[in-house]
Structure 1
Amino acid sequence: MSPWRRRLCIPLLPNWRTRHLMFNSFVILALLFLMVIVLNNRWIPNHIMYKEIMEMDSAYSFQLKESETVKVLQKLVVSGRVNQTENQKLLAIRASKRNTSNRAAHHVGYYSYLINEPNKCQRTSPFLILLIAVEPQQLNAREAIRQTWGKEDLFLEIQVIRLFLLGREAKLTTNNKQAIVNESIQHHDIIQQDFLDTYNNLTIKTLMGMHWIATFCPNVSYVMKTDSDMFVNTEYLIKKLLKPVAPKTKYFTGYLMKGYAPNRNKDSKWYMSQELYPGDMYPPFCSGTGYVFSGDLAEKIFKMSLSTQRLHLEDVFIGICLANLGVNPVSPPKVSDFNIWRVSYSDCVYNQLVTSHEFQPSELVKYWNQLQKNKNLCVIHPK
Structure 2
Amino acid sequence: MKWQWRHIAALLCLLLFPGVLVFWGVEAPPRENSLPANAVPGEEGGYPADSQQSPRDTLTPGPYPYIINEVNKCPEGKPAPFLVLLILTEADQVKTRNAIRQTWGNEGLAPGLGVIRLFLLGVKEGELGRLQQKTLESESLSHHDIVQQDFLDTFNNLTIKTLMGMNWVAMHCPRASYVMKTDSDVLVNTDYLIHKLLRPELKPKTNYITGYIIRGGRPIRAKGRTKYHMPRKEYPNKRYPGYCSGMGYVFSGDMAAKVYRASLSIPLLRFEDVYVGVCLDRLRIKPTPPPIKGLFNLRAVPYSDVKYNNMVAIHRVSPRQFLQYWPRMQSYKLSVASMPRVEQ
Distance in 1 between residues matched to 2:283 and 2:45, nearest whole Å? 22
- Match for residue 204 of structure 2? 247
1:81-100 residue pairs with structure 2 within 5 A?
none
Percent pairwise identity: 49
Structure with the bigger RCO (C-alpha within 8 Å, sep 6+) is 2
1:41-56 residue pairs with structure 2 within 5 A?
none
- Secondary structure of the equivalent of 2:62? helix
Report how far residue 330 of structure 1 moved.
1.1
Distance in 1 between residues matched to 2:178 and 2:45, nearest whole Å? 32
Is 1:109 equivalent to 2:109 in the alignment? no
Q: Which moved more, 1:323-332 or 1:173-182?
A: 173-182
- Match for residue 215 of structure 2? 258
Distance in 2 between residues matched to 1:348 and 1:102, nearest whole Å? 44
Report how far residue 101 of structure 1 moved.
5.3
Unaligned stretches of 5+ residues in structure 2: 1-35, 54-60, 340-344
Distance in 1 between residues matched to 2:132 and 2:158, nearest whole Å? 21
Unaligned stretches of 5+ residues in structure 1: 1-65, 68-94
Equivalent residue pairs, number? 286
Question: Judging changes above 3 Å, is the alpha-carbon distance between structure 1 residues 252 and 173 closer, same or farther for their aligned structure 2 residues?
Answer: closer
C-alpha contact 1:133 1:205 (8 A) present in aligned 2: yes
Question: Judging changes above 3 Å, is the alpha-carbon distance between structure 1 residues 100 and 309 closer, same or farther for their aligned structure 2 residues?
Answer: closer
Question: Amino acid of the residue matched to residue 172 of structure 2?
Answer: F
Question: Judging changes above 3 Å, is the alpha-carbon distance between structure 1 residues 246 and 369 closer, same or farther for their aligned structure 2 residues?
Answer: same
- Match for residue 146 of structure 1? 101
Report how far residue 104 of structure 1 moved.
2.0
- Secondary structure of the equivalent of 1:166? strand
TM-score, reference length from structure 1: 0.71
- Secondary structure of the equivalent of 1:287? strand
Deviations 1:313-358 (A, max 9, x none): 0000000000100111011011110011112211011111001111
Report how far residue 177 of structure 1 moved.
1.7
C-alpha contact 1:113 1:193 (8 A) present in aligned 2: yes
Is 1:206 equivalent to 2:162 in the alignment? yes
Distance in 1 between residues matched to 2:43 and 2:332, nearest whole Å? 55
Distance in 2 between residues matched to 1:196 and 1:121, nearest whole Å? 27
Distance in 2 between residues matched to 1:109 and 1:300, nearest whole Å? 15
Deviations 1:148-204 (A, max 9, x none): 000001121210000000000122554322211110001000000000000000000
Distance in 1 between residues matched to 2:96 and 2:79, nearest whole Å? 28
- Secondary structure of the equivalent of 1:158? coil
**Greater helix share, structure number:** 1
- Match for residue 16 of structure 2? none
- Secondary structure of the equivalent of 2:121? strand
Distance in 1 between residues matched to 2:156 and 2:139, nearest whole Å? 26
C-alpha contact 1:255 1:286 (8 A) present in aligned 2: yes
TM-score, reference length from structure 2: 0.79
Distance in 2 between residues matched to 1:174 and 1:355, nearest whole Å? 33
Report how far residue 377 of structure 1 moved.
3.5
Question: Judging changes above 3 Å, is the alpha-carbon distance between structure 1 residues 179 and 258 closer, same or farther for their aligned structure 2 residues?
Answer: same
Is 1:335 equivalent to 2:293 in the alignment? yes
C-alpha contact 2:64 2:149 (8 A) present in aligned 1: yes
Q: 1:188 aligns with which of 133, 144, 148?
A: 144
Is 1:302 equivalent to 2:260 in the alignment? yes
Distance in 1 between residues matched to 2:133 and 2:234, nearest whole Å? 35
